[in-house]
Every structure is written in C-alpha cells, then in structure tokens.
Structure 1
C-alpha cells in the first residue's frame, strides 16, 4: 500500500510497515527516476459518500447492511454493464470513474423504484440533519422521471399509483392522443392539482423536475401501464421511429 502525503514543501510516500527491504529499494529507485503527475477521472468523495448513504438507508429499509447491499447491487450493475468490479474509494487503484459513479447512482435509484421502494436519504446529524428524496439526489432527472413513469410513481414526492399528466396540457380528447403530441410526467393527486394551479415554469422550478417526450417504443410500453391513455396510438403506424422526439 502506497499513499502520497503533501506537507508544505515536502512529498511523503507512506508505505506498509510490512514492506520488505527489497520492495523498499525498488520503490526508492522508481521515485528517483521522477514522478509523473496525471489527472484521472475518478469517483469524487461526494459521490462515494452519497452511494454509501443510499446503501445505508436503503439497506435499513429492506433488511441488508450497507456493505451487503453495495455488493449485491454492484455485482448486478457490473454484470448488466459488462464492466469490471470497482471500488467506491477515490484512493483505490481500481476505483470507479466519475462517469461510472454518476451512472451507478442513477441506476441504484432506478432499481429502488423498480422494486417498489421510496428511497429517502438522511444526511448530517442533529440540528443539521436533512431528509432528501430520490428526486433531489439523482444525477439524471430525465432518467428518474422515465423510471417514475414506468412505475406509476409521483416524480415529485414518490407516492405510488400516480396519474399520467400531459405537459403541456393535451387540449384534445384522449381518443385522439397517440402519446407523441405532448410531454408527460407522473404526478400524485396532490401534485397534479398543484400543477394545474400554477404555471409549468413555476412548478418545474420549485420541484426541479422535467417532463418527458415519448418515442413510439416508450408509448407502446406505457400503454400497458396506463390503459386509459394513448388510444390513437397504433404500433404498426410508427415502425421505423419516424415520430421519435
């Protein structure tokens, strides 16, 4: 194990006390040849803390320790993405890249929605303790809203059995709706009413949320989830994706 410490005008390489004399000599020889400074796109400390907070609170909810849940979800993620297992510590040689960490956070939040869990994260302690929902921590709000659409979850508060809201409003009978004329966002009754009592810009700004424009493949998938919608949509009319947004 090597660790570089910078103190004032000195660089100190800390090594394991078990390192042999031969290994120390080889290390010293390499250092004498010069040190290359290279920027790397590694997971940030904030990303690492966020993931461990998710594993802690989600694990408490479903009966796993944070270490157990991390191992389960990371194995599933790496298998799905066909990538090597990675560390969540920025100090490890095999640590995740910043991009993978961003995608992994989003993937874990999508997983929790797909499993029916309303993810709540507790940050800080005492008077500084904050409660944050998945919407507030997810790196990709559009991917989050898509996951909410597929699970009938309110994109604002996480309540189940949300309504499908047209944004902007449809303006034509549902019988003429093919799902490609407006964007969509799933909202519970409370937030659905709140949206209709204010402008979209004010609503979007307050909740930091976005609507999603569907493509034919997504409409076909969501027809099974929202049977009262997309009545004009016929799959055979949209082959080739010419209407995709």
Structure 2
C-alpha cells in the first residue's frame, strides 16, 4: 500500500492512501491480529514509493496479460488463481513453462528444482537444448539407450530413449552409470516424435522411410 503523508501529531501519523484499503485482505494477512505498519519516507536516494507502485502495477499487468494470452491461445474460460481446479492450474503452469522455453526466459535454480520432471518437461528440454536437471542452455542430447559402435546414421532412433544433459551432468551420468544416475535425479528418459527427431537433426524422413521399407 502507498500513500501521502498528511500530518504528524506527536506519535500519531495521518496518511492518505492512494487506493482504497481492503480491510478483508488486511485482516487476513495480519491473521486477524492488530496490523503492524512499516512507514518508509522517500528521501530521494533510493527507489521511491511511486516508482515501486508503478513497478508492482506493471507486474500485475504482465500477470493479467499472460492469462489473457492463455485464454486466446487455448480457448480456456476465465479462472481465478485463488480457487481454480488442479487441472486448470496444471494446464496454465504447462502453458507458462512452454512460453518460457519458446522465448528463452531463464529459470532461477530454485524455481527449476520445483518443476516436476515429467514427460512434457523432458521433451521441451530436448527441443530447446536445456539440461533436464539444472536448466543449463546449449546442453547435449544424450542417448539413454546405448547406441554402441553402430553407425548412428543407420540406427532407428524412434525406438530409443533420450535425455538432455549439460556437460557437467552428462559426465556424471557416464561416471555413475545410467540406472544409478536416473535414480539419483528421478528423471525419466523419453522417446521423441518423428518430427522432433527430424528438427533436432537426429534422423531424416528419408532414413525413416528406408527403415520402414525394409520391414
């Protein structure tokens, strides 16, 4: 909350708030106890209350924008984050996750650690070359299923499982062994669609057709 100082009388201060006070929210945040107020006077040497207010307002606008963008892209009905269903929340979370991947918006390490490592995340990590464990960009596409000494150009990669790992975790995987590595980090290697295999230059449509013709 922000406001303008109206007057001071002894140990009493009068402030005119910029916006109407929501008593319900105030009581809820204060756990229905006597609220404690922190008074910070703008001295011109650090961020001003007006600047802070504008920043918070813009962040709220950005939050609303991503929701409206979600409605437009998915046809979803409007919902509130306060009481929406778990299914709606999961779909919106997946949409935000995809938006961050597509626009190369980095994740903080703490945030990344809280994202469940499911099939969708594993595939997006492979598509955008981000480590499935730490989110490091420009990571390696690793064959969980060993290819061995076979010529990779002749292998049917549609039958194999993959994971995306940064150099550090790729090295650790080889040191620990595949089984111990996935048990440590609770990740699940995934198969890639034909379109993903082509876009990632792992296979060509020609090679797929050749393999299918040999069957």
- Same fold judged by TM-score > 0.5? yes
SS in structure 2 opposite 1:180?
helix
Aligned residue number for residue 187 of structure 1:
165
**Does residue 104 of the first structure (1) align with residue 104 of the second (2)?**
no
| 2:61 match | 68
Distance 1:213 1:154, change over 3 A: same
The 1-side partners of 2:205 and 2:153 are apart by 6
Counterpart pick for 2:110 among 123, 132, 136: 132
Matches within 5 A, 1:1-245: 65-90=58-83, 96-120=84-108, 132-134=110-112, 136-139=113-116, 141-171=118-148, 172-223=150-201, 229-230=202-203, 234=207, 236=209
Point out where structure 2 has 5 or more consecutive residues left out of the alignment.
1-54
Give 1:176 shift.
1.6
Q: TM-score, normalised by structure 1?
A: 0.56
**Cα distance in structure 1, aligned partners of 2:157 and 2:65:** 37
- Distance in 1 (CA, whole Å) between partners of 2:77 and 2:87 is 14
> Comparing 165-174 with 182-191, which one deviates more in the overlay?
165-174
In 1: Cα distance, 2:75 partner to 2:211 partner: 32
| Contact 1:141/1:210 (<8 A) preserved | yes
Q: Tell me: CA distance 1:191–1:140, structure 2 relative to 1, closer, same or farther (3 Å).
A: closer
SS of the residue corresponding to residue 142 of structure 2 reads: strand
* Whole-angstrom distance in 2 between the partners of 1:100 and 1:140: 19
Q: 1:139 to 1:133 in 2, by over 3 A?
A: same
Using structure 2 for the length normalisation, give the TM-score. Answer: 0.64
Which consecutive unaligned segments of at least 5 residues does structure 1 have? Answer: 1-62, 91-95, 121-130, 224-228, 240-245
- Cα distance in 1 for partners of 2:211, 2:104 equals 32
CA distance in 2 between counterparts of 1:109 and 1:208 reads 19
SS in structure 2 opposite 1:99?
helix
Q: In the alignment, what sits opposite 1:38?
A: none
CA contact (8 A) 2:156 2:211 kept: no
